[in-house]
Chains A and B, each alone.
Chain A
Amino acid sequence: MPAPALSATSPVEGLRRRRLGFLEVLAQSVAVLAPTAALVTVPALVVAAGGSLAVPAFAGAALLVVLVAWCVRHAARRMAAVGGVYSYCARGLGPVPGVVCGWALVVAYAALAVSSCTGAALYAVALLAPGHHPAAVALGAVLVAAGAGLVTARGVQLSARLVLALEAVSLTLVLVLLGALVLRGGTPAEGARPTGAVLVDAVPSPGGAALAVLLAVTAFVGFESSSVLGVESRRPLLYVPRAVLWTPAVGGVVLLLGASAQVVLLREAPLEVLLSGAPLDGLVRAEAGGPLPALLDAAAAAAFVACAGGSVTALVRVLFSMGREGVLPRTLGEVRESTGTPVRALLVTLPLVALVPAVALLAGAAPRAVLSGAVTVAAFGSLLAYALVSASAPVLLHRIGELTPAALLGGVVASASCTALLVVAAVAGPWAGGQSLALVFAALMVPGLLRVVWLRRRHPERLARAGVYDEPTRRSVLRAEP
């Protein structure tokens, strides 16, 4: 069998190759999953929707996400890509579903960046100047976005290390805090005031249970983002699949523990704490004095900053990959030589990431509404991408002649579950204004879909290049030359 031709350079030349160790690759996924940020926002929403099934809903969501991760891992062990899940999908299902998946990821990462900039500003302002300051939060969001952009521009290694440190600090803080609260025991609500038990012990309707699983899945969004570091990690085919599988597995355990602790605490706390939108903050402020509330704010702010950095890193790499292929304008594929950063993609996206929350906040939107709205949009994008990439894994394996029955089954189950959740989310969600946000997501998908149609008509050759990955060059092969 003749060996296929090897080229002298890889199609993704220009990025800083092979710099990141396993911890730094892992940090990318952990930061965007942001267990701390998820712990302070998601469990209360799940409790409100799923009642007594809140913790099982988390377990179910964790199982589903680990299954998706297992599917992503098949591709991640076989190709080192900059587009991450987008590239895997394009190589498996073909360019059109691939670019749809890629655009959904772009929307998701951009929305995550928006939400985490808002979240970081919100908690930082709460830490520094308690009270209601929408203008300060807007300014803070711009500053966080600018800071994330600056660090990302300085090179992937610096941002990965920073994100790792922030995430480690914030996760430790929140786990210590929750542990302290549970050990101290909640102070029961006085007199006849209703407690959270009304909701926590409620038996949910089937729709409510589905919604709870869906909300719990949002806590895991971003676990796949280390797949964009395929070129920059030292042993991509080893580190990336490991990070992609470990992040939701370990994150799932942490989230389950955190959610269980919150359920215990919320059952005894006054009902209005649960309904306040930020019950963990309420719990801490109501039941613990001293430095604990400030500690929570600091931890959450750090986690959101890390998440902003991670989301921007992932976003610009997907855009870079699309630019290199010609799926998007080629200028997005330009790299700054001194740092190996896709600087053009960064310059295009950063103003959007900074201005969207700032404008929304200054126009009078509540910071928490911006935060949860953006997370919801990100969840739609991610679920669509997960459904597509899970379906693509068995196809890719079949194409290269390495399909096993287990991989086929896993892909079908994961893809079908994600599709079902997506449908539930789109049609059955009184979920933080779920209906309208589904429309927002659909509107955001339109430019990507139009681009696909245009490319198919005018430049099918560019579309066919979708999903470039780091190919072995002549130098990496022994005795391949005739």
Chain B
Amino acid sequence: MSDRGLTGRQPGAVQNALAVLEAVSHAGAGVSAREVGELVGLPPATTYRLLNLLVGEEYLVRMPDLRGFALGRKAAGLAGGAPEPRLSRAAKEELGRLRGALRVGVHLVVFGPTSLHCADVDPELPLRDPYLLERHLHAGAAGRLLLADQPDWREVHPPSRLVRLTAETPVRPHQLQARLDETAERGWAAQAGEVHDDVACLAAPVRGADGALVGAVLLTGPRQRPPLEHLPAARGCAAALEPLLA
């Protein structure tokens, strides 16, 4: 029996797999294999094989009781990028307060399940190239927060996309892994000279009540070392933003 059940030559299998995905999405978390089979109208053995395949690929997850299924985080990646940001006035004021107090660029980044979006860039000290941060998650501090939060960063940012932006950029998987381990351990991210030669940055995460990463306060400055002296201020701002974003 082949594990590679889906090839381009089996449109029926692809349709069935998508139908299974749709059935789980509509029925909600906890739907059982039998219920999915009935919803989709497939024979049990086929349904189980497709469910196991989709769980193996992590579009679905099996619930702890092993009976039920739910959409996995990879299914979220199908829906596209980060949410379109609509910042409340209170959130803008919070960022404004920090901008008034610090002499570095203060930006707000929001995260989708597998992507980031520069939601509010400092008008006085703007990001040199927001696109670079959004695309090269391995180089910038905010992107590393997102990657460090993944069960497996390679799924979101394959090693083939470890592009060298400067001489300092981590371009090998183990280099990035070390930085992500460090990030996960201390709970914030920093880098110097890895996106642009002369820019350093620091990112403090904004997390929802369940610990999910929703955004980050990003400080940038034209210097050789991350602005660590502003870490408490950045974390304070992130904490204040939590009820406004999450």
Contact = CB atoms under 8 A, between A and B. Distances in A.
Interface of A: 1-8, 17-18, 77-79, 91, 234-235, 237-238, 241-242, 396, 399-402, 404, 406, 471-472, 474-481
A235 B66 contact: no
Given A237-B56, A400-B33, A481-B210, A79 B62 contact: yes
30 contacts: A1-B28, A3-B29, A3-B30, A4-B64, A6-B63, A8-B211, A17-B151, A17-B152, A18-B152, A77-B52, A77-B55, A91-B66, A238-B3, A238-B56, A238-B57, A241-B56, A400-B33, A400-B67, A472-B61, A472-B63, A472-B70, A474-B211, A475-B151, A475-B211, A476-B58, A476-B61, A477-B71, A479-B70, A480-B29, A480-B70
A78 B66 contact: yes
Contacts of A3: 28-30, 63, 68, 70
Counting from the closest, the 4 A-B pairs by CB-CB distance are A238-B56, A3-B29, A3-B30, A472-B61
For the residues of A in contact with B, the DSSP-based class is loop
Given A3-B68, A241-B3, A481-B210, 15 more contacts: A1-B68, A3-B70, A6-B63, A8-B211, A77-B56, A399-B66, A400-B66, A402-B33, A471-B64, A474-B210, A476-B61, A477-B61, A477-B73, A478-B71, A479-B71
Given A4-B65, A402-B33, A478 B75 contact: yes
B90 interface: no
Contacts of A477: 29, 61, 70-73
B68 to A, nearest CB: 6
Contacts of B73: 475-478
A8 B64 CA distance: 12
Interface residues of B, number: 40
Contacts of A471: 64
Contacts of B67: 400-401
B16 interface: no
A1 B39 CA distance: 14
A30 to B, nearest CB: 18
A478 B48 contact: no
Interface in B32-74: 32-35, 44-45, 48, 52, 55-58, 61-68, 70-73
B60 to A, nearest CB: 10
